Structure 1
Amino acid sequence: MGRSSSGIVAGLTAAALAAVGFLAYQASATAPAKPAAGTQAQQPAAPAAGPQQPAAPQDPAKAGALPENSGTGTRVVYSVSQKRVWLVGEEGRQPRSFTVMPSTVHPKPGTYAVSTRSGAVTGSDGVPIEHVVRFALADNVVIGFSARLDGAVPAPDATKKTGGIRMTRADGDAMWNFATIGTKVVVVP
């Protein structure tokens, strides 16, 4: 083959790999999460009210106590009512805790597992996001944690069904490093 033929083959190969990668992403983004038996449910959120507020930075002295009955072992604990997440690691170590902005669709309380992850995608609200950690399906909406690339943490549009539980980029980095595929996620009221 000549030099131009090699370039054409390389270009076609790159295009084919890009197409396969895009189709794989589409399949993983639309695949339902696999929550524990009996935990899949529909629970629409109350409409958001008031101005947009960013999540507060982590302050362990002010963080709420880890909710009772939130499981054991290494896990992510998400309290819908407290708008807070705890990353619970080794026994005896203080869990990292931070506030989040809940989505408009909430997972039912129960135990789930991280089912898929994506480094960077466009959220269901059309905003570029990173460190997406998906773990549940509620009201036909995939639920997961993520951070906006612009660093903002506004309240979601209450007229749209979204599943992105948003956090700051620093907290998103911590979630990404902690919550790998199969990590337990415990949702409490």
Structure 2
Amino acid sequence: MARSSSGLVAGLTAAALAGVVFLAYQASANMPDNLAAPGSQSPAPSASASGSPEAKPADPLAVPADSGTGARVVYALADRRVWLVDDKGEPRTFTVMPSTVDPKPGTYAVTSRSGKVAGSDGTPIEHVVRFATVGGVSIGFSAAVDGSMASPDPSKKTGGVRMKRADGDAMWKFAAIGARVVVVP
């Protein structure tokens, strides 16, 4: 009897050890890069198009440093965020839902505005502030009348950068024809 129980214990121990090894492997395979072992090399900072390391502001809600100065609308593509910066440098910021067609980073001016129209996706929208055209698609900020900010259909070329209605009201009051719009990556 002792012989069979020692075999059973050995088998259970081997199975438990195999389970621990498997779980350790799973954990290491799914470990984020920023949790590297102490003393290991951290990844080098990524470079922007200009070749310099990207400088993310300490405050994620801070106006991007590379957006210039003065009164302007700043649209950060990667952050899906807009800032309305007044003459005193005081910003109002909010999130947006990008369209399927993005403008290239650069400086633009508001070219046209519409109070209420149907969006290119058929949704009734208001406070449309257009500032660019990419491949025949007009790019502009707007708010859906129903308040929705759904992801656009990726199979359609749309240029509406959607925001909440209160943010659309603020954009409408802030961005007159000719207002500067700075798009950053």
Q: TM-score range by the shorter chain?
A: 0.5 to 0.7
| Cα distance in 2 between the residues matched to 1:123 and 1:68 | 32
Report the counterpart of residue 115 of structure 1 in structure 2. 111
TM-fit CA distance, 1:63: 5.5
| Cα distance in 1 between the residues matched to 2:134 and 2:144 | 22
* Matched residue count: 127
- The answer to whether structure 1 residue 69 and structure 2 residue 54 are counterparts is no
- TM-score computed with the length of structure 1 as normaliser: 0.65
Does structure 2 retain, via aligned residues, the 8 Å contact 1:101–1:153? yes
Give the AA of the match of 2:176: T
Report the counterpart of residue 14 of structure 2 in structure 1. none
- The answer to whether structure 1 residue 87 and structure 2 residue 84 are counterparts is yes
Q: Is the alpha carbon distance of 1:63 and 1:175 closer, same or farther for their aligned partners in structure 2, counting shifts above 3 Å?
A: farther
How large is the RMSD of aligned CA atoms in angstroms? 1.1
- TM-score computed with the length of structure 2 as normaliser: 0.67
| Cα distance in 2 between the residues matched to 1:115 and 1:176 | 13
Higher relative contact order (CA 8 A, sep 6+): 1
Instruction: Work out which of the two has the higher radius of gyration on C-alpha atoms and give 1 or 2.
Output: 2
| Cα distance in 1 between the residues matched to 2:137 and 2:87 | 32
| Cα distance in 1 between the residues matched to 2:89 and 2:158 | 36
Identity among equivalent positions (%) equals 67
- Note the residue ranges of structure 1 that are not aligned, 5 or more in a row: 1-61
Give the AA of the match of 2:124: P
- Give the secondary-structure state (helix, strand or coil) at the position aligned to 1:177: helix
Match of 2:75 among 51, 56, 78: 78
Does structure 1 retain, via aligned residues, the 8 Å contact 2:143–2:162? yes
Does structure 2 retain, via aligned residues, the 8 Å contact 1:87–1:96? yes
- The answer to whether structure 1 residue 156 and structure 2 residue 161 are counterparts is no
- Note the residue ranges of structure 2 that are not aligned, 5 or more in a row: 1-58
TM-fit CA distance, 1:90: 2.3
